[in-house]
Amino acid sequence: MDKELHVFEEGAYLLWGLVILTCTACGTFLLTGSFISSGWDFMKLRQLSALVLFLISFWGIFKVSESHYHLVLFFDDDLLIIKIRKGKIQTDTIKIPVNEIESLKFSSHFSRSSKEALFDFSRSYHLMYRAHSGADYKQLLNISSGTITLKVDDIADIMRFITERNPNIHIPREQADYFNL
């Protein structure tokens, strides 16, 4: 039986959690006494502000409960197949001949500042590959249905999985040393 690698997107929702809590608390505070008093009117600034805060809170709940990506990588002969699922729905399939991959690396779309950490949990890091026939690097996980956030450790696991099948793939020394590839 061929080996499969499962990679799950992880989300950090500290900001959305804070937004949900703050908007719900402020909206509730603004509505204090509104249902009891005889001055209930939808056009008052307090009620409109509370409605806007509750809408932001509900939008935050929607964002937090959104399904994450699940990648399944496996080989079919010399073909690397990556099935991309969002929740239980398969959204995309990527097929790349593993023998055509000359080099793998992960890189950021944006240059790092001098005080920034070397690697982070960010949408800006992508796994890139270069084929024997091309001079430019392309995104390995180019998802047409959206963007994916992977930890750099997950990207290293994918690189390790691919290089087990084709050990002749070049990986930049700094990245190979850092992740023992």
List the one residue out of 43, 174, 49, 51 whose CA is nearest residue 107. Answer: 174
pLDDT in tens, 26-80: 988 888 766 666 655 666 787 888 889 999 999 998 888 887 888 888 888 888 8
Q: Is residue 128 part of a domain?
A: yes
Torsion of CA 51, 49, 28, 55, to 10 degrees: 30
Beta strands in the chain (DSSP E): 4-8, 69-76, 79-86, 89-97, 101-108, 125-131, 138-139
Q: Is residue 58 part of a domain?
A: yes
Q: Is the pLDDT of residue 181 over 80?
A: no
Q: Is the pLDDT of residue 5 over 70?
A: yes
Q: Is residue 59 part of a domain?
A: yes
Same domain, 107 and 160: yes
Q: Is residue 73 part of a domain?
A: no
- State the residue for tokens 């009620």: 47
Same domain, 174 and 102: yes
Same domain, 125 and 173: yes
Contact 70, 85 (CB under 8 A): yes
Q: Is residue 78 part of a domain?
A: no
Q: Is 12 left (phi over 0), alpha (psi -120 to 50) or beta?
A: beta
The string over 42-80, giving b where at least 16 C-beta atoms fall within 10 Å of a residue's C-beta and e elsewhere, is eeeebbeebeebbebbeebeeeeeeeebbbebebeeeeb
What per-residue confidence (pLDDT) applies to 58? 92
CA 46, 47, 52, 56 torsion-angle sign? positive
Same domain, 106 and 158: yes
What per-residue confidence (pLDDT) applies to 1? 42
pLDDT in tens, 79-128: 888 888 887 888 788 888 888 888 888 776 656 565 555 554 455 567 78
Structural element, H or E, at residue 52? helix 45-64
**Helical packing angle, 45-64 and 14-30, nearest 10°:** 150
Same domain, 172 and 108: yes
Which of 47, 64, 81 corresponds to the end of one domain?
Answer: 64
Same domain, 102 and 60: no
Q: Is residue 92 part of a domain?
A: no
Same domain, 52 and 111: no
Q: Is residue 5 part of a domain?
A: no
Q: Is residue 33 part of a domain?
A: yes
> Which pairing describes strands 89-97 and 79-86: parallel, antiparallel, or unpaired?
antiparallel
Same domain, 60 and 119: no
Q: Which domain holds residue 25?
A: 14-64
Count up the domains in the chain and report the number.
2
